[in-house]
């Protein structure tokens, strides 16, 4: 009985020492997270006069600007342009995810220059990506 009690105290002491060592060690530094934002600015201007762009700021601070098609042409809404814009944005997202970026957030906004009739304005969509360094 005395031997079992000695083994129990010895085992408990060893566990206590190991736990106390880990309790006072500094935790490993967490991995840093990088963020990347892609902004789609799509114009709503009749007659195709608007300027639509897909904007990305690189890690080096360089702006990458890709021309998007306007929602409207001279005859009204141009669904072909909308489809092309969707494809360009999807291609950009696919490329970034293949480079290790993960799409975390999507936020949208609308601005109408003339709030009464809504004839002109912009749609802004921001895609926020993260990546572990």
Say how far apart CA 20 and CA 15 lie, in whole Å. Answer: 9
Q: What is the pLDDT of residues 90-119, one digit of tens each?
A: 999 999 999 999 999 999 998 887 766 666
Least confident segment among 14-18, 32-36, 46-50, 114-118: 14-18
pLDDT at 71: 82
What residue numbers bound the domain in which 78 lies? 33-132
Mean pLDDT, all residues of the chain: 81
What total number of domains does the chain contain?
A: 1
Q: What is the pLDDT of residues 42-60, one digit of tens each?
A: 888 777 677 889 999 877 7
Say how far apart CA 133 and CA 117 lie, in whole Å. Answer: 47
Does residue 53 form part of some domain? Answer: yes
């Amino acid at each position: 009985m005395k031997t079992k009690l000695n083994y129990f105290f010895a085992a408990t002491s060893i566990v206590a020492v190991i736990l106390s060592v880990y309790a006072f060690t500094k935790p490993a530094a967490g991995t840093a997270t990088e963020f990347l934002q892609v902004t789609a600015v799509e114009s709503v201007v009749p007659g195709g006069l608007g300027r639509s762009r897909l904007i990305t700021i690189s890690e080096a601070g360089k702006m990458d600007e890709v021309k998007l098609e306007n929602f409207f042409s001279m005859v009204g809404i141009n669904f072909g342009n909308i489809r092309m814009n969707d494809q360009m944005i999807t291609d950009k997202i696919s490329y970034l995810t293949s480079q290790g970026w993960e799409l975390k957030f999507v936020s949208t906004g609308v601005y109408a220059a003339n709030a009464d009739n809504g004839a002109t304005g912009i749609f802004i969509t921001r895609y926020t990506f993260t990546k572990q360094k």
